[in-house]
Amino acid sequence: MAAKLFIHEFLQQSEFIPVVDVRSPAEFETGHIVGAQNIPLFSNEERAIIGTIYKKQGKTQAILEGLSIVGTKLADFSRKALKIAKDNKLLVYCWRGGMRSASMAWLFEKVGIETFTLDGGYKAYRNEVITSFDKINNLVVVGGYTGSGKTDILIQIKNLNQQVIDLEKIASHKGSTFGALGQAEKQPSSEHFSNLLFTELQKFDFSKPIWVEDESKRIGTIHQPDNFFEKLRDAFLIKVNLSLENRIKRLLTDYGNFEKELLIEAIERISKRLGNEFAKKAIEAIEQNDLETAIAISLHYYDKTYAFGLSKRNNENVYELDLNNLQETRWGQKTIDFYYNLKK
């Protein structure tokens, strides 16, 4: 019988031993332990069939149906597991750490793979993910209006050996209606976003500052975990100030090479919030290759939105830093120095 591991030991061992998720592809897609590979015991359709039988005919009939489904797949499961295993070892989990992971672990051990299962399954992992955000007490947030160079500042800060979380990278979205442009990957689900965030945070020392960009609760299609977002809102915030002219220049560099159709679609997505008349003017400007005007119109909306969000913060935790007369390559160091001088 495969040994069961509690979540902390399971995650520690996952640094050395490959992890296999035996849930259905749909479950895996919604969210999984970061780095896990999927060998589904049942397809999405098969799982639905078994679930229906369980409800209508009971556990025994559901098990019999499951056995008839997987009987022809056992060799294929074994071959996949043997390819994934490292030093003939695997970590395996399902939803609750029940029959699916136990069955697959039994099979894998029959072909010579030493297998460990996760006590409590993916549900235990999710509990660990969500409760971990309650332990964060040292976030430093870099804020500012759209186009203020916050992402570039964080890149510089990271290069100066500070701990940095890139929420937009994890979300595969830059936050605004234009945020999906240029992203190589589709956005994860909100659930898997929190899994990815948890994995990044495990690399850090929570006693030291963790730098992060100010973001709305929603980043594209994902929603940040409630307790993490509360930490973000309550954290020390450095609001960097850059002139409107400089912000427009930066955004022209970021978005000036995208096709007109994509930019127009982005404007159309916020037309009601922007105001139909302003949206119409922005679209006309894009069509006339006047992207500068289109950006200025969009910033009118985004600046109001950010100012409203900023008003919800505790003013005692908000500090302003002017970067207009400073060379861009020095923004990161200036922000770090500004923070540590305030903390003295």
pLDDT in tens, 287-300: 999 999 999 999 98
pLDDT digits (tens, 9 = 90+) for 96-122: 999 899 999 999 999 999 999 999 999
> Measured between alpha carbons, how far is 331 from 335 in angstroms, rounded to an integer?
6
From the list 77, 79, 65, 92, the residue with the least C-alpha distance to 4 is 92
Cα→Cα distances 19→86, 170, 240, Å: 10, 21, 42
Least confident span in 4-18, 42-56, 223-237: 42-56
Given a cut of 90, is residue 260 above it in pLDDT? no
Q: What is the DSSP letter of 58?
A: -
CA 328 to chain centre: 28
What's the average model confidence in pLDDT over 38-49?
Answer: 83
DSSP for 118-135? ETTHHHHHHHHHHHHGGG
> Measured between alpha carbons, how far is 95 from 262 in angstroms, rounded to an integer?
40
| Catalytic residue, candidates 20, 94, 136, 323 | 94
Give residue 75's pLDDT band: very low, low, confident or very high (50, 70, 90): confident
Identify the pLDDT of residue 182.
77
- CATH code, 137-343: 3.40.50
Does the annotation count 219 as an active-site position?
A: no
Which range of 69-78, 114-123, 253-262, 276-285 scores highest in mean pLDDT? It is 114-123
Task: Tell me which of 49 and 119 has the higher pLDDT.
Answer: 119
Homologous superfamily of domain range 3-129: Rhodanese-like domain (3.40.250.10)
> Measured between alpha carbons, how far is 308 from 161 in angstroms, rounded to an integer?
33
What's the average model confidence in pLDDT over 323-329?
Answer: 95
Give residue 6's pLDDT band: very low, low, confident or very high (50, 70, 90): very high
What's the average model confidence in pLDDT over 244-268?
Answer: 89
Judge contact between 90 and 21, C-beta under 8 A.
no
How is residue 45 written in tokens?
């359709």
State the pTM of this model.
0.90
Sketch the domain layout of the chain as residue ranges: 3-129, 137-343
- Burial level of 202, CB count in 10 A (0-12/13-18/19+)? exposed
Identify the pLDDT of residue 66.
61
Task: Tell me which of 68 and 73 has the higher pLDDT.
Answer: 73
